[in-house]
A and B are shown apart, each in its own frame.
Chain A
């Protein structure tokens, strides 16, 4: 039976929706703010043990031997695992690209500082950590390789000897006539950029409680898990178990942003549990572990990029050469971050041809993991700097140059050269809204006046497309060829007509339980507080991926509406039987079923549900009496990727323009953000409060990447940023307040016209801040090309005191 999911709010069977599109306070918050929600470290099970992990102090070393006998003999120690156990129980893990996985704890050699070498389960975490000190590991240190260019050279130490190279993948993508575009361009602007390692830093690190029964081999995994079903599949694959032996109960968690990796922590806790006779084993990742060895690091990139522009200022070609340092293996799926820019390669512009020379390189650093935005934010930082370089060289206002190259509203749906299709957009409208909100003309006058006084001030305008609702086909180029990411929901009424929705994902902070309640409440004209949302374990829940890739809001709205449609259809059949008419005659409107225009032929939801469950004598023959329906939503019309990685992948394309004004202290290099204004268009705003919250968070993380955050390693591969004293995430004192304007161009493809917006501003903020900094530096003839733009880096540029490793003076190669 096909189900028509409403694409607009006015298609709901309720003339007066009270919640969708309104500023609805998040229903999750009262419980969260009063400590009623169970997080993983709150879990206490009978006979539970506590794990601690012994980690490699070397970036690269052979393990000659491990002696755990003293640790095992300590009172309170119940199990110890090493690589020998991994060898016995685990398969080599999946990875992207293929062939870059391993086992955990390490077998034979370690390849990054912090790699697990052994682990202990004891009756307390204190005892477990004491026991780690009694484990003797004999290492033979090997020469590490920490620079990806050195790693690509002949004769470099090999991170994985068996692969014979550190180049995990090298591919050249050509989309359209890119050579011709550059050969015939009036102007070509080329620049190099360095984006240093940054990553997710949720308030709560990863944690898990695992039980692995040595007799039945049933594995129960609790934890701060972002995608419960995906994590369960991964564990089953790692241990060679039938997938229905692994049940995942994800706890609510304190943020993720992609950083809740944790698969290896689960593997260790599970093996300890099995060795301890199936007793539950808790492992809570501490902050040092998170920062040095967890899901914390992503996007370690060296770019060379070029933009071809014709005499009228139209961009005709865009080329990117990227060397992406993925660290010690492909288990973290950092490669996806290099592939995802295909889904929005040319941003909001009509650039007809593009090329991408992509090298993924292994080094002896923490394997790169996912991070909010999953790769495009650095890509857009690069593209937007080139657009500004072009604007400056051509003497065109940067906002105007962008306007001239925008995909026009009538061109949607629009297929970009790298294959993805954008659903809709109104880019000039967004630009105008942002410029108006920022007072752009006044800002430029302020800048010019301050500049005349010798101050270093700049205004940046940057724009980006946020691909929303991910699909696996976007990552076919790095070995993930599937199509479709299902998300399911079950909507049911009980005998009294109370509504319950069952979903497969945990609370993570984006207000999705509120969204589910909004949708059901408006569909059936209920009070939002009467809708209960329940999370099920993976073996009980409908298929679910959960949050990720700016998908869940759109996906769960589709799933819930699909289930509502199905349930309404079922209830219509019952009502039709009672009213001795056909189901097509019965209408659901404003929460009542009945014959339109006949006031006495109307039934409430409770009457219908009660009849179904308590009056089988009144039901049509053979009628299923359960007032419940499940719907599993997946993005429509997705296509497999071709040989150049082209596919209809991400379903939606949100867009934003950010305007930033900065002042740089020329003596210290410190950047002050003077003004921050933005406009964005993510289609129908299902809950504007939530959208704005996502935007604020994305700005904060974007400010971090642009100005503060960097994971630093020394030449031996030792991490130098192992605490928040050294890895600097911005605080409330560093994040500017922003003025926000909304433009709404509904998606023609999604439930209610919403677009993915969860990753949001991180796509645009780093680009905008760097544009503003470079505008400020322009009178000096220097250019910031490395993130974060730290005070010292800017001071060096300003004072000409020295040139950093990645260069610092700008030059464009013009050809005529």
Chain B
């Protein structure tokens, strides 16, 4: 289990990294925390000519708040996010999602940008990003651009990043006071990829009815997806078990073709999506309208 021959480059600036990735002579891939890429290299499922190692690039590991957004550099580790009091206080769903990623050893190496760029259908960050309306910043040969998370995940392990583009930052809006949220998943074991999961936010209007509900399912389809029909069922309604269960069923029903593997069939995944969505909506609605920490 050793990689096929390859070269290794360790640039120190984003510009150098982009240049290396765009070498027309070589097939290059970017290496972040290596939690997915290294096994693929060792299994020889990935066979690049050049590994562009981003660990020494300056300025990619910040975690900060700016104008209502939490900005995380692509190379910020999940462990750093987990331990950030800023994230825990201002973006608690992102914090909760982080806790459910793998194990401490994985979070020590794995990065925010790596998770997003890998786009595993069962990964936590992509789902949280879609539910929260996050944005992704990328730098390529023609400069920087910003991509909404809802437009970033195109298919199974496929993103809107162009060849030769580097994801540099993920920015997530802070959770405003009064917005309820929940992040739930079902795994075979603690730390596994989810068989199904859901990320939910709910606001309550002045009359106590749900509004601006956002639901993103993961682990069930090729990409994390908003359950728009289910959101519509909830919006305008008073929180209640019956409405949340109905929304859960609608969310699950809208999944095109659920994934299936040795851990869970398509039927079971769909069922879990319904159950989790119902439970997550209830939890989010309970949190909504309350000051944080209660």
Q: Which residues of A contact B (CB under 8 A)?
A: 125-126, 129-130, 133, 286-288, 667-668, 670, 708, 710, 712, 720-721, 723, 725-726, 728, 730-731, 733-734, 790-792, 795-796, 799, 801-802
With both beta carbons as reference points, the residue of chain B lying nearest to A289 in the complex is identified as B1
- With A667-B275, A668-B275, A792-B264 as known contacts, state yes or no: A130 contacts B4, CB within 8 Å: yes
Which residues of chain A are near B246, meaning CB under 8 Å? none
Residues of A within 8 A of B275 (CB): 667-668
Q: Is the CB of A668 within 8 A of B272?
A: yes
Residues of B with C-beta under 8 A to A796: 268
Q: Shortest CB–CB separation between residue B127 and chain A, in angstroms?
A: 18
6 residue pairs bridging A and B, Cβ less than 8 Å apart: A125-B2, A670-B186, A712-B262, A790-B188, A791-B268, A792-B265
B181 within 8 A of A: no
B244 within 8 A of A: no
Residues on A with C-beta less than 8 A from B191 are: 731, 733
Residue in A130, A287, A801 whose CB lies within 8 Å of B1? A287
User: Which residues does chain B contribute within 8 Å of A802, judged by CB atoms?
Assistant: 267
Contact between B190 and A733 (Cβ–Cβ < 8 Å)? yes
Q: Tell which of B4, B262, B271 has the most Cβ of chain A within 10 Å.
A: B262
B267 touches A801 (CB 8 A): yes
Bound together, the chains give a CA A133 to CA B47 distance in angstroms of 13
- Say yes or no: B2 contacts A129, CB within 8 Å: yes
Q: Are A708 and B2 in contact (CB under 8 A)?
A: no
Q: Per-position contact with A for B216-239: 1 when CB-CB < 8 Å, else 0?
A: 000000000000000000000000
Chain A: CB-nearest residue to B271: A795
A-chain residues with CB within 8 Å of residue B190 when the two chains form the complex: 731, 733-734
Bound state CA distance, A288 and B1, in angstroms? 8
Map CB proximity to A onto B169-191 as digits: 1 under 8 Å, 0 otherwise.
00000000000000000101111
B265 to A728, Cβ gap below 8 A?
A: no
Chain A nearest Cβ from B43, distance in angstroms: 7
Residue of A nearest to B193 (CB): A725
C-alpha gap A288/B39 in the complex (Å): 11
Whether B1 and A126, one on each chain, are in contact in the complex, defined by CB atoms closer than 8 angstroms, is no
Min CB distance A196 to B, Å, is 11
B262 contacts A130, C-beta separation under 8 Å: no
Q: For chains A and B in complex, what number of residue pairs have CB atoms within 8 angstroms?
A: 64
Q: Which residues of A contact B263 (CB under 8 A)?
A: 726, 728, 790, 792
B192, CB-defined interface residue at 8 Å = yes
Task: State the main secondary structure of chain B at its contact with A.
Answer: loop
Report if A720-B262 is in contact (Cβ < 8 Å); known contacts: A129-B2, A731-B191: yes
- Is residue B5 within 8 Å, beta carbon to beta carbon, of the partner chain? yes
| Interface bits B1-24 vs A (CB < 8 Å: 1, else 0) | 111110000000000000000000
Q: Name A670's closest neighbour in chain B (CB-CB).
A: B186
Query: For A728, what are the chain B residues with a Cβ–Cβ distance below 8 Å?
Result: 188-189, 192, 263
Across the interface, do A734 and B2 meet the contact criterion of CB distance under 8 Å? no
The residue on B at minimum CB distance from A285 is B1
Question: Min CB distance, B27 to chain A, in Å?
Answer: 17
Chain A neighbourhood of B3, CB < 8 A: 126
Closest Cβ of chain A to B214, distance in Å, is 23
CA distance A802 to B265 in the complex (A): 12
Q: Which residues of A are found within 8 Å of B192, using beta-carbon distances?
A: 725, 728
A contact residues around B272 at 8 Å (CB): 668
Across the interface, do B189 and A708 meet the contact criterion of CB distance under 8 Å? yes
**Residue positions of B touching A, CB distance < 8 A:** 1-5, 39, 43-44, 103, 186, 188-193, 195, 261-265, 267-268, 271-272, 275
In Å, the complex CA distance between A799 and B272 comes to: 13
CA distance A759 to B260 in the complex (A): 36
Please name the 7 residue pairs, one residue from A and one from B, whose CB atoms are nearest each other, closest first.
A733-B190, A286-B1, A792-B268, A667-B275, A126-B2, A712-B262, A129-B2
* Cα–Cα distance between A204 and B209 once the two chains are bound (Å): 57
List the A side residues contacting B2 at CB < 8 Å. Answer: 125-126, 129
Cα A95 to Cα B266 with chains together (Å): 42
The CA-CA distance from A203 to B5 in the complex, in Å, is: 28
* Across-interface contacts of A731 in B (CB, < 8 A): 103, 189-191
A726 to B39: give the CA distance in the assembly, Å: 14
Contact: B186 with A791, CB < 8 Å?
yes
A734 to B267, CA, bound (A): 25
Q: Give the chain B neighbours of A723 by CB distance below 8 A.
A: 39
By a CB distance below 8 angstroms, the chain A residues around B39 are 723
Query: From residue A555, how far is it (CB to closest CB) to chain B in Å?
Result: 37
Docked pose: A288 CA to B2 CA in angstroms: 12
User: Which residue from chain A places its CB closest to the CB of B186 in the assembled complex?
Assistant: A668
A contact residues around B193 at 8 Å (CB): 725
Please measure, in the bound complex, the distance between the C-alpha atom of A170 and the C-alpha atom of B191, giving whole angstroms.
44
* Cα distance A53–B44 in the bound complex, in angstroms: 15
> Residues of A contacting B267 with CB < 8 Å?
801-802
A669 to B, closest residue via Cβ: B268
Docked complex Cα distance between A796 and B271 (Å)? 11
Q: Which residue of B lies closest to A801 (CB)?
A: B267
Residue contact A734 to B262, C-beta cutoff 8 Å: no
User: Does B188 contact A708, Cβ atoms closer than 8 Å?
Assistant: yes
CB-CB < 8 A to A129: which residues of B?
Answer: 1-2, 44
Contacts of A712 in B (CB 8 A): 262
Q: Which residues of B contact A670 (CB under 8 A)?
A: 186
Pairwise interchain contact A730-B189, C-beta atoms closer than 8 A: yes
Bound complex: CA A708 to CA B187 (Å):
11
Task: Identify the interface centre among B44, B190, B192, B271: most chain A CB within 10 Å of its CB.
Answer: B271
Cα distance A712–B188 in the bound complex, in angstroms: 15
User: Is B1 a contact of A726 with CB atoms below 8 Å?
Assistant: no
**Extra 7 A-B pairs, beta carbons < 8 Å, given A287-B1, A731-B189, A791-B264:** A708-B188, A721-B262, A725-B192, A726-B262, A728-B192, A731-B103, A791-B195
- In chain B, what residue has the closest Cβ to A721? B262
| Closest chain B CB from A537 CB (angstroms) | 30
Q: Which residues of B contact A734 (CB under 8 A)?
A: 189-190
Cα distance, A125 to B186, chains bound together (Å): 39
**Chain B residues, CB < 8 A from A708:** 188-189
Interface centre among B2, B5, B44, B267 (most CB of A within 10 A): B2
Chain B nearest CB from A773 CB (Å) reads 16
List B contacts of A668 (CB < 8 A). 186, 272, 275
CB distance from B15 to the nearest CB of A (A): 32
How many Å from the CB of B106 to the closest CB on chain A?
12
With A and B bound together, what is the CA distance between A700 and B192 in angstroms? 18
Given contacts A130-B4, A287-B1, A288-B1, contact A791 B188 (CB under 8 A): yes
Please, which residue of chain A has its CB at the minimum distance from the CB of B1?
A: A286
Shortest CB distance B102–A (Å): 10
CB-based contact A795/B5 at 8 Å: no
Bound form: Cα–Cα A73–B140 in Å: 43
B194 to chain A, nearest CB (A): 12
Distance in Å: Cβ of A718 to nearest Cβ of chain B: 12
Closest to B42 in A: A286
How many whole Å from A194's CB to the nearest CB in chain B?
Answer: 16
A792 and B189 alpha carbons, distance in the complex (Å) = 13
CA gap between A355 and B262 in the complex, in Å? 35
Please measure, in the bound complex, the distance between the C-alpha atom of A708 and the C-alpha atom of B1, giving whole angstroms: 26
Q: Which residues of B contact A799 (CB under 8 A)?
A: 271
Chain A residue numbers with a CB within 8 Å of B103 are: 731
- Given A667-B275, A726-B262, A795-B271, is A733 in contact with B4 using a C-beta cutoff of 8 Å? no
Q: Judging by beta carbons under 8 Å apart, are B43 and A795 in contact?
A: no
Residues of A within 8 A of B262 (CB): 710, 712, 720-721, 726
CB of A547 to closest CB in B, whole Å? 28
Instruction: Determine how close the nearest CB of chain B comes to the CB of A58; give it in whole angstroms.
Output: 19
Query: Are the C-beta atoms of A130 and B268 separated by less than 8 Å?
Result: no
Residue contact B189 to A130, C-beta cutoff 8 Å: no
In the assembled complex, the CB of B197 is this many whole angstroms from the nearest CB of chain A, namely: 12
- In the bound complex, CA of A799 to CA of B5 (Å): 52
| Residue of A with least CB distance to B188 | A728
B5 partner residues in chain A, CB cutoff 8 A: 126, 130
- Across-interface contacts of B189 in A (CB, < 8 A): 708, 728, 730-731, 733-734
**Distance A287 CA – B43 CA, assembled complex (angstroms):** 11
- Closest residue of A by beta carbon distance from B264: A792
- B133: shortest Cβ distance to chain A, in Å? 29
Shortest Cβ distance from A124 into chain B, in angstroms?
A: 8
Q: Report B-chain residues with C-beta under 8 Å of the C-beta of A730.
A: 189
